[in-house]
Structures are given as structure tokens and as C-alpha cells.
Amino acid sequence: MSCKPDQHGLKSELQHARERVKLLEEALRLREDKPFLAKLADGLLSPVFVRNAQHRFVYLNRAACKHFGGSREELLGKRIDELSNYPWANADFVEDNLRRDRLVLDGAPIDVVEIKLDLHGATRKFVITRTPLRDDAMEGACVIGHILDVTERRRAEDALFETRALLEAAIEQSPTGMLVFDASDERVLISNPAAKISQLQPAPLSDISVAQHLAGRHLRKPDGTPFSPEESPHRLALNKGIVSHNVEYMVKDAGDEDRWLSANAAPIRNAAGEIVAAVLVFSDVTEQRRALQELKASENQYRGLFENTGTATIVMDKSGVIQRCNSRFQMLSGYSRSEVEGVKRWIEFVDASDVERVTDFLYRKTDIWAEPPPTEWEFRFRDRHGEVKNVQIQVDLIPGSRSRVASLTDVTKRRQTEQALRESESRYRTLFESAHDAIFLTTLEGQVIDANQAALSMFRCNAKQILGMRPSDFSPPLQADGEPTKKKSHEYLQLAVNGEPQFFQWTYRRFDGVDFDAEESLTVIQTAGYDYLLAMIRDVTERNNALRELARLNQNLESLVEARNRELIDKARELEQANLRLTELDALKSTLLATVSHDLRTPLTSVLGFAKLVGRDFERRFRSLTDNDKKLLKYADRIRDNLDIIQSEGARLTRLINDFLDLSRIESDRMDWRDTDISAAEAVEQAIHAVQTSFEENPDLSLSVEKPLPEQTLYVDPDRLLQVLINLLDNAAKFSRQGDVRLSASVQSDGMFRITVSDSGPGIPEEDLERIFDKFHRVSSQQGNGRAQGSGLGLAICRRIAEHYNGRIWAESELGHGSEFHLELPCRPLEKTP
């Protein structure tokens, strides 16, 4: 069968032939282009020169000019012996150059010589190649020379020779087994240690195949499964070029005992990149594995102890790098274990103010000649987020090493508590000792644990005599009313412990045996987290004696005056009892308000939630069933309006309950004040944003703010300040039908920050300007704009918040011309800029 030639293939071959012809023509043209060749030679990094038959330079490239020490203009036309800057142009060197040039000019094909020259105090090696060059434009033949600096290459060859010798010696003396396999999987070379492990004798070449060598050895993986020949490291290196590291397997030795081997394998390639052999390096790790298993068991036990010490614990090396840390340290620092171990130095967690001191302690811990540091100390610890904590640390050296183990305990809260306790104790002690009345601090059972100087003076005793005694121990057996002292004292103590402060008359007996009359108040206080009784005693003996003397002088007065005195005494007692009862009722009221308000919030939340759910289900599922029936639509609208009323009134009731709770917390001193530094301008902007909806509901009423607001810092609870501002703005919107509500702020000369809210409402009568800040006081309903009037607690809460921060709030108003409410709070002093 015959085939016609492929026309397309012929055309393609013809086109390729034409392109090759063009490339050859271009190469020929470039070869004849002398300027191009000169540029090409100038671009070479090695020196190239041309000398004529008179041994004079006719061409030098840039590298040659630099080598011979001159410019091209200075070197052209000169012989080598005429070069004054060339350090090697001595007679012998010049004669040898001329002789070699003549040999090349006489027809020698190529002359190559390697020479040593001293350059700037260092010996360099050069290879100089001379080639004859004939050109029609030149007179006769020329010599083209090429100079190659081979100094570094010769050094590398020498180093390679030395390295090869060292490597051969190292392989021969290596304690590790080594096998080299050729590409056909035959053993080529085995070192002495390898022969010891494999029970074979070393030989340069061997006819024993690897399969024969491994027969009966029962190779197994760490999991016990058989180790197939194809999986062996040397086979992977020979067949796939894979480099294996630390491949472990188990074999049977000559004594039929299990031995663990760890092998590394790598392919050996020729210059063409083909795999011609593989090298296998292995060692017996049986004892290491056993030791590792024991170490692992010990490590697990150590880790359990390390993680469960109860404190943050780290192990650091001699340079301070943290090598180990437990989960407690991760919580303390804010970093994960991978971000700490082997990465961070211990000193990076020390605040700059403590770095010098801590560094000194750690240095003294490792220096046997230095003064020993304390085993425990405290420093400032800085975590990932920049928060500084007070941390107590205990550092010890690990025996037999220069590593250290440190246990850290966060004592920030404890130090803050101790500081607050010291400050409170200082204030208490100052008041305690400076009081003119006698003051006792007793246990809830009445035992005296502290007494001020006034008490010691009053009872004519010292502290050692009175501490540990009860008031009944230094009182007469019977009181002035004939009641037993111990019984009456016990009753007063129980009433005070139960939360009822006591104020009563008492007869005491000094330690010198003299009785005296006293007025005493008994109150429970809390200090250092414990409850105690505080007894304040005032000596009223002189007053009572004066009263008794007055009674004696007036005993002859008319019976009417006497009766009147008895009536006044009775009234005074009734007033005292009424005062006690009022105190009890006020405490009961606060407890009742807090309890009832808290209990109302849960059902009220359910009512509001279910009202919203009923409204949503009604709109989605039942309203569509009316089918445009007007009667049903009317009922549907009524149901929807009733649900809206339930939600609106529920929300109002929620605000009322919240007001009750806030007032109750403030009056009972249970309010949680979260004071911090805040921007007054930002607080005002936040309040304006919160009441924006109230103003949008009334299109005839606008809210304007006098800007710019002063940039001032206040130290207050941001939620409580926002509560005051919202209340003032909401009241302004509530009592203004139309017009403008204005807010302005300024810093007063006395260091107070004043916020003023002005409205366009009907105003407040002068007699009500103070009463509006009383609890449950509300302005008359006709003064509002029709909105709900509230509970009458908002302004009362505002005043108590302002007074808590040593500020004040008041109102100014003129009937018919609106009202102004002013809030003043102390400014936080601004930091001076350098």
C-alpha cells in the first residue's frame, strides 16, 4: 500500500528551513559587525586583550583595562614591559609573555598557562589562554588573550579533596551501620558497624542480594505488621528517589531476639540526574526505645503534676526562654502554648518598671558567687492585652541543670483588696481615734476587740484590761430601771444584730468602781469581710445630775407644771418610739419595694412577650380570615389596639419597676457603681441618640445641642450618667407641646462640669422647684403634653445619683416661659502635656 506525501508537513519543514537560514545569515552578519563584537567583549567579566606582532596592545576590554591598571587610551600601543602600574611587569615575567606570544604567532594553536601573582598582599591564581588571530585589516597575525581568575575554584577543589578524604575516613570510622546498594538492588559496600548489626562480614562487592540478606529476619513495623521489601527505605530510594528519615522497624538478630533499628535512606545520582545507587544508614535503637518508653511514662506523670499544680508554672532555660508552660500560665498570659514554648523569653512578660529588679534576681539565682535572691517575690506582669497584674513568683533551679522552674500566682485582686482595706482601715482608725466619744468594736456576741483612747480614758483602764470583756462585765448588776444588766444587754445586742440600730440609756461602772450614766448607740458594721458591732458611748452623768437637780428644785412647783413635765416626757418617749418605728418602716419599705419590684419583673416580662406573640399571630393568621367583613375588621382593629395598649402599659410598668429597683438599691447602698473615666461629650451624644425617637413623635418639637461640647473627662458610672441625661431630656419632651428643647454644657470656674437642659413648657411653680425632686411627687397633669406622667421617681433618682458623685441637680423656672434643669458633676483633672 502506497501513501502520498503529506503536503502540509513538507510546507512546515520548508518554513523551518527558511527560518534557520535567516538565523545563520543574522549570525554571520553579527560576526562581521566589529562594533557589535567590541560591545560583546566589553560586556565580559573576564579580561580580554589583543596584541600585534610587535607585542603591543591593539585592543583591551573593560575588565582587561582594570586588570592591567590603566584606561584604554593609556594602554593601547604599549608593550607589557612599559606598563608602570602593572605590579608583575618584571623582566622574567615580560620575557615569558613575549616568548609565549611568539609561539602562538609562529603557528602554535592555543597556549594555556596557569600562574600565581601577588595582588595587594594576597596570592591569586590566573589561567591565561592565547589564541592566534588573523584579520585582513591588521598587519599580519595577532594574539588574542583571555585571563581567567581561578583562585576561588582552586580553593574549592582543594577543599573538596580534603572533604572527600575526611568523609571517607568518617564513613570508615562511623559507629552507625551503613549500606550502599546499586541500582540492581545488590549490596555494594558495608561498613564494620553494619556488619556487626547484620551479622555479615564487610566486603567491597558482594553477590548476595538484599532479598537474600533479609531472608528470615522477620522485619516488622512498630505496629507489628510485616514490613514488605517494597516498603523498605532503600527500595523507595532506588525506585522512586524518596529520601527517608528515622524509619523504625524490628528484626530478629542472630540470637532470635527482637532488635529495633532506625534507618535513613537517600538516592545517589550521577551527573545526568539518574539514580545509580542508594545509601542506607541505620543504628540499633533498642535500648533507646526502652529508655524512651520509661521516659514517656515518667513524662506523663510529670505532665499530670505540671498541669495540676494549681498555679501558673513555667520551665525556662538558662537564657530565659520558656521551654514549658501549663494551662494556668496560658490563662494568665493570654497566649497559647505554641506561642510561648520555645518562642518567648520570660523577661518579655515583665513590666518595664520591674525588668531591672527581676533580671538581677534571676542572675543571682544562677550565680553561685552572688548574694542569694529571695525565693519568693512579687513583680508587675504584663499579659498579651497590655493589662498589668501583680504576680507573686517562686523560682527554683532544677537540680543538675541551669534551667529554672517558676510558679506564678496572680495576686492583683488580693493586693487591691488589701490596699482598699488599708485605706479603709486608715480612715476608720483616724475617725476612731479622733472621736471625743468612747467607741468600742465588739463581736456579735458583745466581746470587746478594740477601743479608742476616749473609751480607755472614760473607763479609767488600759486596753489589756478591757479587751475580751462584755459591756455587762463593767456595768452594775441592775440598770436604773431595775432590769438585770445581763438580760437587758442581751436584748439590745440581739436587736442590733438583727439589723435594728439601737440607741438607749445605760449605767456603766468604771474600773475604779464609780458608776456613771451614758447614752449609747449600737450598730452593725462590716469590715474586712466580717460583721461587728460598733458601740458609741457618751458620758451624760453631768447632764443627768443637772436634770435631777433641776427636778429637785422644781419639785415644789404647781402640780400643773409637774403634770406638764410628765406629759412632755411621755411625748418624748412616744417620739423616740415613733422614730424607731419610722426607721423600721423605712427599712421594711425598702425591702418590700426591692422584693415586690423584682418579683413583678418576671410575670411582666411574660405578659409583654405573650402580648407581642398574640399580636403577631393575630396579624399573620386571623386577620386574613375577615375577608373584608367590616364588622370583623372593626373587631380586629379593636383587638390590635388593645394589644398595643397592653404592650404600652406593660413597658410603662417596666420603667416604673426599674425606677423602684434603682431607688431601692441607692437608698440601701446596694447599687453597683461601675465608675470609670468617660468623655462627657460622648455621654451627651449617646443620650441625645437614645431620646431621638421621643422628639420624632412630635413634629412641632425640636432638639438642639450647643456645639462644640467641651472635651472633659468625668469619673462616673456611664450607665448612671446616661440615666440622668435621658430622664432630663425625656421630661423636657414630655412637658413641651411645641418649640425647642436645648442642651448646653460648660466647665465652671470651681472645677464643675455643668449640663443644662432648657424646654419651652409651661414652667414649674416656685414652691414646687424643690419638691419635684422628692419621691412620688409629680406636677399636675395639665402641665404635660398628654403623655404618661411617670412614677414621680425619675428626678428623685437623678438627685441621688448626682449627690453620690458630690454633684448637684436643681431646676429654675418661670411660669409660662419654660424650665431649665442644671446638672453639675466634678471634672476629672486633665493630664498635662509635656
Q: What is the chain's mean pLDDT, rounded?
A: 76
pLDDT, residue 832, reads 41
pLDDT, residue 821, reads 92
- The model's pLDDT over 397-446, given as tens digits with 9 standing for 90+, comes to 777 777 888 888 888 888 877 777 667 666 666 666 777 788 888 888 88
Q: Categorize the per-residue pLDDT at 82 as very low, low, confident or very high, splitting at 50, 70 and 90.
A: confident
- The model's pLDDT over 341-364, given as tens digits with 9 standing for 90+, comes to 999 988 889 998 888 888 887 767
| CA–centroid distance for 212 within its chain | 63
- The model's pLDDT over 238-268, given as tens digits with 9 standing for 90+, comes to 888 888 888 887 877 666 777 788 888 888 8
Q: What is the CA radius of gyration of the chain?
A: 52
Top mean pLDDT of 302-316, 520-534, 723-737 is at 723-737
3-state class (DSSP) for residue 4: coil
For the segment 446-475, the average pLDDT, to the nearest whole number, is 87
pLDDT, residue 753, reads 92
3-state class (DSSP) for residue 138: coil
pLDDT over 60 at 194, yes or no:
no
pLDDT over 50 at 200, yes or no:
no
pLDDT, residue 774, reads 78
pLDDT, residue 677, reads 92
3-state secondary structure 397-410: ECCCCCCEEEEEEE
Q: What percent of the chain shows pLDDT beyond 70?
A: 71
Q: Which of 284-293, 317-326, 454-463, 759-768 has the lowest mean pLDDT?
A: 284-293
pLDDT, residue 825, reads 92
pLDDT over 60 at 17, yes or no:
no
- The model's pLDDT over 45-55, given as tens digits with 9 standing for 90+, comes to 788 888 888 88
Positive or negative, the CA dihedral 753, 757, 758, 762 is negative
Angle between helices 680-690 and 718-734 (to 10 degrees): 50
Q: What percent of the chain shows pLDDT beyond 90?
A: 4
The count of other CB atoms within 10 Å of the CB of residue 532 is: 18
23 φ, ψ to 5°?
A: -65, -40
Tell me which amino acid residue 739 is: G
Is residue 518 within 8 A of residue 537, CB to CB? The reply is yes
pLDDT over 70 at 213, yes or no:
no
Q: What is the DSSP string of 414-459?
A: HHHHHHHHHHHHHHHHHHHHH-SSEEEEE-TT--EEEE-HHHHHHH
Is residue 229 within 8 A of residue 217, CB to CB? The reply is no
Q: Which of 136-150, 469-483, 648-662, 714-728 has the lowest mean pLDDT?
A: 648-662
For the segment 549-562, the average pLDDT, to the nearest whole number, is 70
CA distances in angstroms from 584 to 173, 495, 501, 591, 665, listed in the order given: 99, 12, 9, 11, 17
Positive or negative, the CA dihedral 96, 97, 102, 105 is positive
Top mean pLDDT of 91-95, 507-511, 661-665 is at 507-511
797 CB-contact burial (10 Å; exposed 0-12 / middle 13-18 / buried 19+):
buried
pLDDT, residue 1, reads 36
Q: Omega into 132 within 30° of 0, i.e. cis?
A: no
In angstroms, the CA 229 to CA 690 distance is: 79
Q: Which of 318-327, 397-406, 572-581, 612-621 has the lowest mean pLDDT?
A: 612-621
Contacts by 813-817, CB closer than 8 A, 24 or more apart = 813/763, 813/764, 813/766, 813/769, 814/763, 815/762, 815/763, 815/764, 815/765, 816/762, 816/763, 817/763
Positive or negative, the CA dihedral 729, 731, 737, 739 is negative
Closest CA to 142 of 101, 93, 82, 111: 101
Is residue 187 within 8 A of residue 213, CB to CB? The reply is yes
3-state class (DSSP) for residue 117: strand
pLDDT, residue 182, reads 72
For the segment 65-77, the average pLDDT, to the nearest whole number, is 82
